[in-house]
Structure 1
């Protein structure tokens, strides 16, 4: 009954006024769901603001738990398979949920039933963005390519003399960037669909970004959202209230529809990007030249040259999906006033992160590529298209996504397939259905220490000169590895242990030989 009474009282009015670091947050009762990196940043921020904070976590990190006690937050360790009595007694005025908790989690359903407002960390960060001085926000989402696009955009901004911070789902909580004492001019925020799910599009918690992009949309996280429609609706929130530019993928109609449906500020423009010839107000490629036809006066008849595919190829950046990311990031940076010359020069020094189409070794004419970051079929498809004949190491947690279409589309380029991970059965069935003659190997070991050595040994036995052995799992990693980076590192270790001194060296993958398009 207590929670119902608070919902009927003045709590909503108070929350409406909490739109500044300097607002009165003292004594606000806040429940924080989760104690990962995000949950801890939320609790740390709120206790600094003077709120009364109760953190709920099923199995908290011991170091973070100790620090909570020091900063003055309380921790309730609970399996959270039901609503804890302590939460009901606490009578929270607002609940801040970490992004990993499903919408049908018992605590979130309880909050909905008792009219307790639910925020995400992104809404909280927007409300307190003025601690040092309020930076402009640029938002990036999409099924794939988010992190690379965020890093590219932040690099372009920094090269232009702006203090820019890549943050959000990239690994640095937005709240940490907001509270950085040096302050920033621009935050380039990677947003997952989980974070967007809780983000309001109107009212005091709604973000008004300088520019935003949804890079692409494909089946992913359907086990979390429940349907592709719900997943798309969450992604589409990224464009709401944009001030300057809504950047969309011309090859992905879903992103165009998101822009058409978004409520934006007057003057905001729709800017398309793609690998084809750009129209006015677009970014694209003309005879191997990446062009801006959006941010110039005479965009009807002329274009600005950003760089060339040949130059990108020298840097290992010419895979079609990487070129798309560069075009999207260029559009976002241009919306913030960065000259094309600055973007060109920054690309000369940019390098992809580890485990993103990274060449591990070249030996005996066989190239070993780590794209462990390809954690869903859409990302794996982009990776497969960048190479010729492939020995494909695939598998893991499919997250409710059907990989049948991916297998069917690419069996023609495969020398062999090596299936790893927990969800092997569906993949094995797809290969047998679409390519019954294809050499198919199944790594049945569940021991983290042996999965990659076995997969690499099998690949080495079937790969031929001119082939690429490609780790592009099309699946999440947490069934057998700590994360995609751990999976990639173990692939590196297994390849180098198997090759010994045979490797010719490593470096960027030569992407110019793959199929055009993405």
Structure 2
């Protein structure tokens, strides 16, 4: 089925895969566009039944069978979490039926801005870590420039809600996961950034190569700039492989002094040498490291990536500075909780994989590191080897703590390691963990919760883990 932008869905039999938030949104939008919508989900619990009833009239729901393609289906719209090898998608492929994600549907439904022939441009961000922070920084910069904008996609406002908003947005800052990119074949952003690449979600993608290829889709058709990480050659390789519009440029970002066409740092200043006249001789100050909150190295690179996308769109330097100054990160992202007895306590519970934890550990020295949980197949030798010189001690928790303990024994044998809260969960566990960490820390140290693991073995989610850490610290 070849479908133009703003397609006619009237009478089209469409299957929506998944009764989650994005599935419910897609089903309602498609129904309102006149499609014949059937939602399928392999689950059949009480919560799903309630959600199915809340969909309203005009949407059929089939629970307990997410594998069979209903006869006559012409299009499948999937929620991001469904892997490509799901039986429903294999059946769709065999029947010649296209599969779109919610991002692809939103891209097809964009409408021209009032008085123009063009929809709002998308400035898109992906990467293994830092996506949400970078997109929120970008939205803050665009707001400072006086634009009606929003952080959307895998964060904030649903991308479908954004493109169909009654009062249209002028430009969108769009966070895209590898899942969403996989199912968005016609996406062509104005400009895009890949922040970094590290192994993640390999069970879904099947290999690191497939994961990287899906991340690289974000560069396809870029018009102005493909923004990449100078410290991560894999991101540059994705730019080199991308099919972009004529005149689109590769723009690097990093913590060093920038070359022509790059963003970087000089004497504590954030500098643009890409979007300036005669970039081989000139540069523009766009802010200072001190304008970034917190000014941890990886967060400064996030700010540079956001600035590069904003400048590609045409934002002036003062708006970049003002937007970065106004921005504050979400909870549980390298958030300073308190200073107690000269020891700083930092909550980076969002660091649920080794790449994120490495960035967090690089920001502090010396560190009493709280780590552990569900490893999700990760290994820890590279992480520990890189951080060994910064560690005062380590407090290990969770189901896969032994994996981190073994890496510490190999690469940091002189670092004291204490395993805490064995068999405990929730507030009781975290109170003990913080008590142990406080006993190991000295004045001037940082106690850093950067677990490098998922949380569900001991806590409801990473948010609860961070909240309980903060409560336990304040109780000190």
Superposed CA deviations along residues 91-145 of structure 1, whole A, max 9, x for unmatched, are: 4211111111222223233333333321111100000011876211111001111
| Gap runs ≥5 in structure 1 | 1-11, 201-205, 500-518
Once residues 170 and 207 of structure 1 are traced to their aligned partners in structure 2, the CA distance between those partners, rounded to angstroms, is 18
* Pair 1:348-2:325 in alignment: yes
Aligned to 1:512: none
- Residue in 2 aligned with 1:359? 336
Please identify, of 105-114 and 242-251, the stretch whose mean Cα deviation from structure 2 is larger: 105-114
Closer, same or farther: CA 197–478 of 1 in aligned 2, 3 Å = farther
What is the CA–CA distance in structure 1 between the aligned matches of 2:383 and 2:4, rounded to whole Å? 47
Q: Deviations over 1:224-245 (max 9, x none)?
A: 2222111111111110000111
Q: Distance in 2 between matches of 1:88 and 1:316?
A: 49
> 2:385 is matched with which residue?
408
Structure 1 residues 91 and 481, CA gap change in structure 2 (3 angstroms): farther
TM-score under structure 2 normalisation? 0.94
Shift of 1:165: 1.3
SS in 1 for 2:326: coil
Corresponding residue of 1:64: 51
1:125 aligns with 2:106: yes
Flag the 1:423–1:27 CA change in 2: closer, same or farther, 3 A: farther
Alignment correspondent of 1:335: 312
Moved over 6 A (4+): none
Q: Residue deviations 1:447-482, cap 9 Å, x none?
A: 334332232122122222221110111122333333
Contiguous gaps of at least 5 residues in structure 2:
none
| Correspondence for 1:28 | 12
Aligned to 1:326: 303
CA contact (8 A) 1:196 1:237 kept: yes
Q: Deviations over 1:219-271 (max 9, x none)?
A: 22222222211111111111000011111111111111111110001111111
Q: Distance in 1 between matches of 2:82 and 2:401?
A: 26
Q: C-alpha distance in 2, partners of 1:329/1:308? A: 14
- Which residue number in structure 1 is paired with residue 248 of structure 2? 268
Deviations 1:484-509 (A, max 9, x none): 22221121122223x1xxxxxxxxxx
Match for residue 91 of structure 2 among 110, 116, 130? 110
Aligned residue for 2:148?
163
State the SS of the aligned residue for 1:95: strand
Give yes or no for contact 1:142–1:216 (8 Å, CA) kept in 2: yes
**The one of 36, 44, 47 aligned to 1:52:** 36
Give the equivalent residue in structure 2 for 1:75: 61
Change (3 A) 1:107 1:427: farther
**Which residue of 1 is the match for residue 394 of structure 2?**
417
* Conservation of the 8 A alpha-carbon contact between 2:122 and 2:171: yes
Please tell me whether the aligned partners of residues 142 and 323 of structure 2 are also in contact (alpha carbons under 8 angstroms). no
Pairs within 5 Å for 1:174-323: 174-200=159-185, 206-309=186-289, 311-312=290-291, 316-323=293-300
The 1-side partners of 2:411 and 2:266 are apart by 37
User: Does the Cα contact within 8 Å between 1:395 and 1:427 map onto a contact in 2?
Assistant: yes
In the TM superposition, 1:469-488 aligns within 5 A as: 469-488=447-466
For 2:211 and 2:70, the matched residues in 1 are separated by 34
* Aligned-partner Cα distance in 2 for 1:264–1:119: 22
Q: Which moves more between the two structures, 37-46 or 431-440?
A: 431-440
Taking only aligned residues, the RMSD between alpha carbons, in angstroms, comes to 1.9
Change (3 A) 1:493 1:75: farther
- CA–CA distance in 2 between the matches of 1:65 and 1:445? 38
Q: Report how far residue 63 of structure 1 moved.
A: 5.0
Matching of residue 147 in structure 1 with residue 132 in structure 2: yes
Q: Could you list the per-position Cα deviations for residues 68-90 of structure 1 after superposition, in whole angstroms to 9, with x for gaps in the alignment? A: 1x14212222164xx2xxx4444
Q: Which moved more, 1:323-332 or 1:47-56?
A: 47-56
Query: Cα distance, 1:18 vs. partner?
Result: 4.4
Q: Which string of whole-angstrom CA distances, capped at 9 and with x for unpartnered residues, describes residues 127-181 of structure 1?
A: 0011876211111001111111101111111111111111011143200111211
Q: Structure 2 CA distance, aligned partners of 1:470 and 1:433? A: 21
Q: Once the 2 structures are TM-superposed, how far is the Cα of residue 389 of structure 1 from its aligned partner?
A: 1.2
Aligned match of 2:77: 96
Give yes or no for contact 2:297–2:363 (8 Å, CA) kept in 1.
yes
Q: Distance in 1 between matches of 2:264 and 2:288?
A: 11
> What CA deviation, in whole Å up to 9, does each residue of 1:392-450 have, x standing for no partner?
11122323222221012212322221222333332222223333443222332253343
Aligned residues: 468
The aligned counterpart of 1:516 is none
Q: Following the alignment from structure 2 to structure 1, what is the Cα–Cα distance between the partners of residues 454 and 90?
A: 27
